[in-house]
Amino acid sequence: MTPSDASGGASTGASAGRWSSLDRPPLNVAALQRALVTGEGLWSSLEVVGSTGSTNSDLAARAAKLPEGAVLVAEEQTAGRGRLDRSWVAPARSGLFFSVLLKPGPAVPQERWGWLTLLAGVATATGLSRAAGVDTSLKWPNDLLVTVDGEERKTGGILAERVADGVVLGIGLNVTLTDAELPVDTAGSLALAKATVTDRDPLLKAVLRSLEQWYGNWREAGGDPAASGLQETYAAGCATLGKHVRAELPGGRTLTGTAEAVDADGRLVVRTAEDKHEAVGAGDVVHLRSVR
């Protein structure tokens, strides 16, 4: 399933029994289905499993036989994946771990499908702001950040994977993880960020409704990030912009400079010390310091 590395999840090897907690009740599947699978909106089905290796892998394997809008949620992932095949493992019922199937079809040129990762970030941050009262910023390209004790911490992330006729989007969020359950001090959770709501049912509904709205607007605009308002909104919530960054690029090359913009293709535009602008389409970005 989701985020870009294990720094956002808990230590590996967690079993459902070990992490069982009365403070972490299971999701109310029937209520979620009634609220989200209405026959009139995007979401065509919603399935919750107790445990699986990866919701992205499971949904991708079935994508050809499923209609757009299928949602797969896991109470626990044992082999969650992120970018570059990094692992993501967290205590059972401590977060939201889910994947959705989107099929933009001919309405959106495939060269614009890369915006779906950034769209999911905007939608998730928007939904969490409304439902949990917590400010969530975006680290390019796919991390979700919250502030814990005055420090920027990763609380989740997104993984988009192409399938035959669409995209599987995986989203992972740390909701109730405690300090003791975090593997590194750069990780965080909504609870540690003092969210007003940590009940996973309303949080999942809020994120999926926000995703439906943003996806609908983007699709109606033919995937145009400017016309749909996506490019502007992403830039406004992107914590990477204005920071001095180090981008670790494919092939082992490293680029250092100031992150200045996100271009029409969703790439991060970095201004180097030589005053040259380079667009980064893939790679790991490390925030070094702010230059705003």
pLDDT digits (tens, 9 = 90+) for 230-249: 999 999 999 999 999 999 99
Helices (H) and strands (E) in the chain, counts: 5, 14
Question: DSSP letter at 194?
Answer: T
At residue 16, the pLDDT reads 42
From CA 158, how far away is CA 125, in angstroms rounded? 12
For residues 49-74, give the mean pLDDT.
97
Cβ count within 10 A of residue 222: 14
- What CATH code would you report for 6-234? 3.30.930.10
User: To which residue do tokens 């702001």 refer?
Assistant: 129
Look at 17-31, 120-134, 202-216 and tell me which has the smallest mean pLDDT.
Answer: 17-31
pLDDT band at 183 (very low <50, low <70, confident <90, very high): confident
From CA 141, how far away is CA 113, in angstroms rounded? 14
At residue 283, the pLDDT reads 87
Q: Which residues of 41-58 are buried (b: 16+ CB within 10 A; e: fewer)?
A: ebbeebebeeebebbbbb
Does 2.30.30.100 match the CATH number of domain 240-290?
A: yes
pLDDT band at 14 (very low <50, low <70, confident <90, very high): very low
At residue 21, the pLDDT reads 58
Polymer length of the chain: 292
* % of the chain at pLDDT higher than 70: 88
Is the pLDDT at 290 greater than 80? The verdict is no
pLDDT band at 80 (very low <50, low <70, confident <90, very high): low
Q: Which residues of 98-110 are buried (b: 16+ CB within 10 A; e: fewer)?
A: bbbbbbbeeebee
For residues 7-31, give the mean pLDDT.
62
What's the whole-number average pLDDT of the chain?
Answer: 90
At residue 105, the pLDDT reads 93
For residues 263-279, give the mean pLDDT.
97
pLDDT band at 17 (very low <50, low <70, confident <90, very high): very low
pLDDT band at 185 (very low <50, low <70, confident <90, very high): confident
Is the pLDDT at 143 greater than 50? The verdict is yes
More reliable by pLDDT, 292 or 260? 260
Specify the pTM. Answer: 0.90
* % of the chain at pLDDT higher than 90: 82
Domain boundaries, the chain: 6-234, 240-290
At residue 26, the pLDDT reads 97
Kindly calculate the radius of gyration of the chain based on its CA atoms and give it in whole angstroms: 18
At residue 11, the pLDDT reads 34
Is the pLDDT at 257 greater than 60? The verdict is yes
At residue 115, the pLDDT reads 98
Is the pLDDT at 126 greater than 60? The verdict is yes
Sorted by sequence, the CB contacts under 8 Å of residue 138 that are 6+ apart come out as 118, 121, 122, 125, 144, 145, 234, 237, 238, 239, 240
Is the pLDDT at 264 greater than 90? The verdict is yes
At residue 23, the pLDDT reads 81
DSSP helix/strand/coil, 241: coil
More reliable by pLDDT, 116 or 83? 116
